[in-house]
Structure 1
């Protein structure tokens, strides 16, 4: 006689994620707390927080990259400035959207600003192939400036 191995039943979470979400929301609305899939619900809630932080951190990195392009990539500036400015606006808007939904992420942005500047610098240096010694390793602008819709690190000379 062969030993019988009971297979662990596939949970709704693993079988049909969307249906699991709908079922869990219905249970919460009905205050059916005793039958909740708490393990997966907790994992999902923790994941949401990580996702928000990852998204806003990524937007900040790309914002820094484009601010560096505007300030330092003189050879491409004439042809690319318009597109870079559009990207700066886009990343600022994305960050603003995240901050409107979760204002507490403002302190997180301050915490990761230098790290994301350095990551943006790496992307910039890779794209531009400029000498890394020409680009500051630490930010030469503040987070407030980076997020300020009226600020850019370089402006065309209006006297010409």
Structure 2
């Protein structure tokens, strides 16, 4: 029977950070035959997906906080400054990501409504607010959501 503990792992499996550093060194030295091509191709292909996941997460969190400001009246006075800070933080991160990768803008538009709906569901579960209180339609345009000076109209129900 094969003793798994004695089977050598690839550097990729054993120490990802070291694998990256070694791969960079091999690329810089143009030592192409020493490169772990299968794992390198997999990692490069995965980069776009990571940025898309990050963008969706940031946009969902941004919507969540915009909804808090607009509709969570019982917590607004105590939390407003924190929520506003988080809104600006998420906007900055989204704008930096779009500046670094402008080709993600169409993807942002594509997932805009989905992220809003996810944030709406999170808010309903997190706050216990009546689902009828939160609009089913997105509360703002892409431009408004990303505008550092735009905030939703506050509900006082």
Q: TM-score, normalised by structure 2?
A: 0.87
- Match status 1:125 vs 2:124: yes
Runs (5+) with no aligned partner, structure 2 = none
Structure 2 partner of 1:67: 66
Alignment pair present for 1:32 and 2:31: yes
Aligned to 2:88: 89
Distance in 2 (CA, whole Å) between partners of 1:110 and 1:45 is: 24
Q: What is the CA-CA distance between 1:60 and the residue it aligns to?
A: 0.3
Correspondences of 1:130-149 after superposition (within 5 Å):
130-149=129-148
5+ unaligned residues in a row in structure 1: which ranges? Answer: none
Alpha-carbon shift at residue 65 of structure 1 (Å):
0.5
**Displacement after TM superposition at 1:51 (Å):** 1.3
Is the counterpart of residue 43 in structure 1 residue 45 in structure 2?
no
Q: Within 2, Cα distance between the matches of 1:74 and 1:14?
A: 50
Structure with bigger gyration radius: 1
Structure 2 contact 116–138 (Cα < 8 Å) conserved: yes
User: Once superposed, which parts of structure 1, at least 4 consecutive aligned residues long, lie more than 4 Å away?
Assistant: none
TM-score (norm 1): 0.86
Aligned length: 152
| Correspondences of 1:13-28 after superposition (within 5 Å) | 13-28=12-27
Q: Pick the structure with more helix per residue.
A: 2
Alignment RMSD: 2.1
